[in-house]
């Protein structure tokens, strides 16, 4: 554990923490003009400078301090704070640590000018000295005092304890978050697989069985036509025929809601067009689509599904909650990356942050899917009233090499810019998803 904490403290990925500690320490003392922090680099106990004041850049940053050498090396070895303002004090300090070590005396003494006075305190992490912080006074005014040395020592141990605790907590949080993300990714992937399976089953088994049923009904009706004693059956058979057809349509709707084949076959942009058509069908909401970039169709397969689900939920919310007359779906490349925006002119989100509501499963699901796709989602009031769902994708989407069928076929299309009116679509949409 100690090793782990020591490593965390010197983690070069986190140099900012040491720099902040140093700057705070320099700010605490009027006399401190400059300083640096060195920490243990590994098992060999050589300290390495990890933070220093600007005027010491760059050479102090390159310095290494073996135990007993220089201010940090000496303090590291002595395991206690040291102060010196004149060569004699250096000598006295070294005598207490390494009696008769002339080389050490020379190495520390040579560091005094331009510093007139130096205080150096051990950095302690969970009882173990892992480095040292040195502050230099370069002016001609009164040198550092023992009292100031004590304050620095106290500050160094408190600051380090806090920095380490924070850093450990942060690392743990990061690990937990990435585990949660991974779990979420798997759950969502499993859910999508299941949807594909059920949709296929509905199509391959149920729909085929119903087609066969229709065929059987046709034969029966023909047989009934030729037999006057079965005439009364005809009306009954046509009724069954209508019911089977209605069930087939419902099955088809259900299967395509579960996983529209259009998404895999023609790509995300077309699937969104199709979804918009379905969502507003017979609701009286006008949908406007404006895709000024083809990034939607360049998303890898899994991310494309996530984005599709987001649009699906956003449109369903517009229809169910907004009372909007118009909804707009835009995709483009902005200054801050790719974006997809769904805005409506409805009543707007309820006050008090709908995302925090325990039953806001739909909204939270959208946000989680956005994260899985490698993007970020904002759900907020629209600029002109109504609600806005904004998905931004700064980096590359979810890694995956499957892509859509459209991508596989090398098909390149720029997105549509069309209006789906209250009386239906205008534009080349309405592709059969089956």
Ligand X SMILES: Nc1ncnc2c1ncn2[C@@H]1O[C@H](COP(=O)(O)OP(=O)(O)OP(=O)(O)O)[C@@H](O)[C@H]1O
User: Which positions touch Mg ion (CB under 5 A)?
Assistant: 317, 362
Q: Site for ligand X (CB under 6 A): which residue of 303, 305, 318, 393?
A: 318
Q: How far is the CB of 344 from Mg ion (least distance, A)?
A: 13
Measured from the CB atom, the residue of 123 and 279 that comes closer to ligand X is 279
Q: Site for ligand X (CB under 6 A): which residue of 69, 148, 344, 345?
A: 344
Q: How far is the CB of 298 from Mg ion (least distance, A)?
A: 28
Residue 51 CB contacts under 8 Å (≥ 6 apart), including other chains: 15, 18, 19, 21, 22, 36, 37
Contact criterion met (CB below 8 Å) for 113 and 80: no
Q: How far is the CB of 296 from Mg ion (least distance, A)?
A: 22
Q: Site for ligand X (CB under 6 A): which residue of 66, 150, 332, 362?
A: 362
Q: Is 363 in the site for ligand X (CB under 6 A)?
A: yes
Measured from the CB atom, the residue of 117 and 317 that comes closer to Mg ion is 317
Q: Is 407 in the site for ligand X (CB under 6 A)?
A: no
Q: Is 345 in the site for ligand X (CB under 6 A)?
A: no
Q: How far is the CB of 346 from ligand X (least distance, A)?
A: 5
Q: Is 382 in the site for ligand X (CB under 6 A)?
A: no
Measured from the CB atom, the residue of 34 and 379 that comes closer to ligand X is 379
Backbone angles phi, psi at 204, to 5 degrees: -75, -35
List the Cα angle 143/144/146 in 5-degree steps. 135
Q: Give the separation between CA 272 and CA 328, rounded to whole angstroms.
A: 12
Q: Which of 278, 262, 313, 305 is nearest to 398 (CA)?
A: 305
Q: How far is the CB of 170 from ligand X (least distance, A)?
A: 31
Q: In what order do the strands lie in the sheet with 128-137?
A: 64-65, 47-52, 34-40, 128-137, 117-125, 82-84
Q: Is 387 in the site for ligand X (CB under 6 A)?
A: yes
Residue in the structure block whose two tokens are 């907590």: 169
Q: Is 385 in the site for ligand X (CB under 6 A)?
A: no
Q: Is 361 in the site for ligand X (CB under 6 A)?
A: yes
* Binding partner selected for residue 322 from Mg ion, ligand X, none, CB under the kind-specific 5 to 8 Å limit: ligand X
Q: Is 286 in the site for ligand X (CB under 6 A)?
A: no
Q: How far is the CB of 350 from ligand X (least distance, A)?
A: 5
Q: Site for ligand X (CB under 6 A): which residue of 86, 169, 347, 409?
A: 347
295's tokens: 């990034």
Q: How far is the CB of 334 from Mg ion (least distance, A)?
A: 26
12's tokens: 């070069």
Residue 405 CB contacts under 8 Å (≥ 6 apart), including other chains: 264, 265, 266, 267
Q: How far is the CB of 377 from ligand X (least distance, A)?
A: 12
Measured from the CB atom, the residue of 80 and 321 that comes closer to Mg ion is 321
Q: Where on the phi/psi map is residue 72: left (φ > 0), alpha (ψ -120 to 50), or beta?
A: alpha
Measured from the CB atom, the residue of 365 and 385 that comes closer to Mg ion is 365
Residue 416 CB contacts under 8 Å (≥ 6 apart), including other chains: 269, 273, 289, 291, 427, 428, 429
Q: Looking at 71-79, 315-323, 390-398, 412-420, which segment touches ligand X (CB under 6 A)? A: 315-323
* Binding partner selected for residue 300 from Mg ion, ligand X, none, CB under the kind-specific 5 to 8 Å limit: none
Q: Looking at 207-215, 224-232, 262-270, 316-324, which segment touches ligand X (CB under 6 A)? A: 316-324
Taking CB positions, which residue lies at the least distance from ligand X? Answer: 362
Measured from the CB atom, the residue of 123 and 340 that comes closer to Mg ion is 340
Q: How far is the CB of 246 from ligand X (least distance, A)?
A: 25
413's tokens: 């299309």
Count of positions on this chain that bind ligand X (CB under 6 A): 17
Query: Which residues contact ligand X by CB under 6 A?
Result: 317-318, 320-322, 344, 346-350, 354, 360-363, 387
């Amino acid at each position: 554990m100690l090793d782990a904490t020591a490593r965390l403290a010197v983690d070069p990925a986190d140099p900012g923490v040491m720099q902040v500690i140093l700057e705070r320490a320099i700010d605490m003392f009027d006399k401190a003009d400059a300083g640096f922090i060195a920490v243990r680099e590994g098992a060999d106990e050589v300290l390495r400078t990890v933070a220093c004041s600007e005027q010491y850049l760059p050479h102090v940053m390159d310095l290494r301090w073996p135990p007993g050498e220089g201010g940090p090396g000496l303090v590291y070895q002595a395991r206690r704070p040291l102060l010196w303002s004149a060569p004699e004090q250096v000598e006295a300090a070294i005598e207490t640590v390494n009696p008769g070590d002339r080389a050490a005396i020379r190495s520390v003494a040579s560091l005094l000018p331009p510093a007139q006075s130096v205080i150096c305190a051990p950095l302690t992490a969970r009882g173990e000295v892992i480095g040292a912080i040195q502050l230099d006074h370069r002016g001609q005014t009164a040198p550092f005092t023992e009292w100031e040395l004590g304050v620095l020592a106290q500050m160094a141990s408190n600051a380090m304890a806090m920095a380490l605790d924070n850093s450990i907590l942060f690392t743990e949080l990061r690990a937990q978050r990435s585990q949660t993300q991974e779990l979420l990714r798997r759950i969502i992937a499993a859910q999508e697989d299941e949807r594909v399976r059920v949709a296929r089953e509905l199509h391959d088994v149920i729909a085929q069985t119903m087609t066969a049923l229709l065929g059987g009904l046709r034969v029966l009706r023909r047989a009934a036509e030729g037999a006057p004693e079965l005439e009364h059956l005809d009306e009954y058979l046509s009724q069954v025929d209508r019911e089977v057809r209605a069930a087939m349509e419902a099955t088809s709707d259900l299967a395509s809601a579960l996983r529209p084949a259009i998404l895999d076959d023609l790509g995300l942009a077309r699937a969104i067009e199709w979804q918009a058509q379905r969502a507003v069908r017979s609701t009286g909401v006008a949908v406007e689509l404006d895709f000024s970039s083809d990034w939607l169709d360049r998303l890898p397969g899994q991310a494309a599904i996530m984005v599709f689900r987001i649009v699906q939920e956003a449109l369903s919310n517009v229809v169910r909650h907004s009372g909007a007359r118009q909804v707009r779906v835009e995709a483009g490349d902005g200054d801050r990356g790719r974006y997809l925006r769904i805005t409506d002119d409805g009543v707007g989100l309820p006050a008090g942050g709908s995302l925090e509501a325990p039953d806001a499963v739909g909204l939270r699901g959208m946000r989680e899917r956005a994260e899985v796709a490698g993007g970020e989602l904002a759900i907020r009031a629209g600029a002109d009233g109504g609600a806005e769902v904004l998905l931004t994708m700064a980096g590359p989407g979810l890694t995956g090499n499957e892509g859509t069928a459209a991508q596989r076929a090398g098909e390149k299309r720029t997105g549509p810019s069309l209006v789906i009116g209250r009386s239906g679509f205008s534009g080349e949409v309405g592709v059969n998803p089956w």
